[in-house]
Chain A
Amino acid sequence: MELLILNGIVNGLIVGGIYALVGVSLTLLYGVLRVVNFAHGEFVIAGSFFAYVLFTSLNVPPLLALPVAAISFFAAGWGLYYVLIPRLSRSDDPELMSFLMFYGVSITAAALMLLLFEADSRSIDYSFTPISIQVGPIYVSTARLVALAITAVISAGLALFLFRTLPGKALRAAIMNPEAIQIVGVDIVRLSAFAFALATALAGVTGVLVALVFPAFNAFSGTEYTIIAFIVVVLGGLGNPVGALVAGVLFGLAEQMATVFLPQALAQIVGFAILVGTIFLRPSGLFGTSTKK
């Protein structure tokens, strides 16, 4: 039993790290742009396919795919922002229209991946040596431990950026007071484009890690990650990046522990129970101090 629990904790941290990254990128995007990206999960899976293509056709190992994905997805996000958002802000009700638009992007992205990679589940046939490492009394796959280390580094880097650099503070300031950030001379259009690009880059990188941690993915996996991202964002408080990081790890732990203690069918609903519970009990999230106007 102790072994199962220990296993649950280690896996919870690994999976939670991924959830944290999915959540933090979605919450940044919402915080700065006030739009809800339903296509976020598809962006993540696009990252997985990106690593898959690099590996199968160019023999690029996943670790090397990470920086390539970061740069490519950042550029793609930057471009996508200028394609999508100016049209959105011309509508009468941008926030409402954003739901429709990103739902459309989500369907389009999933269909595109289906077209390119068909409906079969894919996995990257890459293994580290040794294949697994002993952690105390249990063995954990090296790929998963590497993924955990990378999520930790990315999270720490992101926190440093947001709390220690002026552009990072400007991003947080835009979340706190979107009008005041313009008054102090920050070009909100460029800042939003940067936030969109950063969130997309994080999604792409997370996708590469998904390919390392989870056995397989397919063109339809995106929705799953979008839902997880929503749970994490709500749990951590809308627009609260640190909250999302912590909530992601907590959610990963809860999910993995549920598989230890609960029958498998029940474990599935833990995520939704957490989401509904949070909305009822703490609508501003576990760490929601609220984003005042």
Chain B
Amino acid sequence: MTDPTQQVPAAMELVEVDVAYHGDIRILRGLSLKVRPGMITGVIGPNGAGKSTALRALYGLLKPVAGDVLIDGKKVTGLPPWKFIDHGIALVPQHRSLFNELSVDDNLRLACWSFRRDRARVEAAVERAYAQFPMLRDKRRDMAGSMSGGQQRFLELGRSLALQPRVLLLDEPTAMIAPRISAEIYEFIAGLPAQGITVLLVDQNVRQCVRISGHLYVLELGQNKVDGAASDFQKDSGLRDLIAEWVDYRIDA
């Protein structure tokens, strides 16, 4: 089956995936999507296009009724969400994924569950999160739910990165976040590939997503409408018009 001309396999991949809610309402219809290693893959599209659904299907939170999920070219369809950490894949979902009534420190330690018996490794991971976002160290005894939206987002990012993932999946990382903090978050994400972290970014913020992505997917009605290198989207006026039409945003040349 191996094709010698094929490049490095995608870090993660959806192959002709169908996802349905309540039996027959299809949210994804034969969606194929590759998370290319070493860069940011952006996913944009209008509301209801299935962006978040695609990401949840990738992470095992939704089971496809058809199609496959691949990690490094290997089929893992049906892998439960808690196994992805072991494959070096972390997710920061759109809705808050913190434990509000646990302290910041406990939130970090709980994320080390899969290696909880290795105390040195746990301490190192927690320390990494504090080193990355020093603000968290000052708040370590505070309840996670008592922090501001931006601080909570940094805790979620720090918690995921503390586990040193190869791949980070992000779902609208700046939804409901103040603009100044948003800019900071995008700078941070843009720097991840340089640290060897592959990123899949699902976003409503088309401008920022196009700006920092290396490869772009435009979804519509649960299907892959168009995809290509982000630079092509900026060069090609036809693609620019298409994006303007689909997501009501015009990319500047």
Chain A residues engaging chain B, CB cutoff 8 angstroms: 92, 166, 169-170, 172-173, 176-177, 179-189, 289, 292-293
The interface size of chain B toward A, counting residues with CB under 8 Å, comes to 30
Are B97 and A179 in contact, with the CB atoms below 8 A?
A: yes
Chain B residues engaging chain A, CB cutoff 8 angstroms: 23, 59, 61, 80-86, 90-91, 93, 95-102, 106, 109-111, 113-114, 116, 145, 159
Are B61 and A184 in contact, with the CB atoms below 8 A?
A: no
A189 to B113 CA separation, bound complex (whole angstroms): 15
Residue of B nearest to A166 (CB): B116
Across chains A and B, the number of contacting residue pairs, with CB separation under 8 Å, is 77
A292 to B95 CA separation, bound complex (whole angstroms): 11
Are A172 and B116 in contact, with the CB atoms below 8 A?
A: no
Given contacts A169-B102, A185-B86, 4 further A-B contacts (CB under 8 A): A181-B99, A184-B159, A185-B84, A186-B82
A293 to B145 CA separation, bound complex (whole angstroms): 12
Q: Please report whether the interface of chain A is mostly helix, strand, loop or mixed according to DSSP.
A: helix
A166 to B81 CA separation, bound complex (whole angstroms): 20
A202 to chain B, nearest CB (A): 22
A193 to chain B, nearest CB (A): 14
Are B111 and A185 in contact, with the CB atoms below 8 A?
A: yes
Are A184 and B95 in contact, with the CB atoms below 8 A?
A: no
CB within 8 Å for A180 and B113 given contacts A169-B106, A185-B86, A188-B82:
no
Would you list 21 pairs from A and B whose C-beta atoms are within 8 A, ordered by A residue? A169-B99, A169-B106, A169-B109, A172-B99, A177-B97, A177-B98, A177-B100, A179-B95, A180-B97, A182-B80, A183-B59, A183-B93, A184-B97, A184-B111, A184-B113, A185-B86, A185-B111, A185-B113, A185-B114, A187-B80, A293-B95
Are B99 and A179 in contact, with the CB atoms below 8 A?
A: no
Are B95 and A166 in contact, with the CB atoms below 8 A?
A: no
B209 to chain A, nearest CB (A): 22
A277 to B95 CA separation, bound complex (whole angstroms): 34
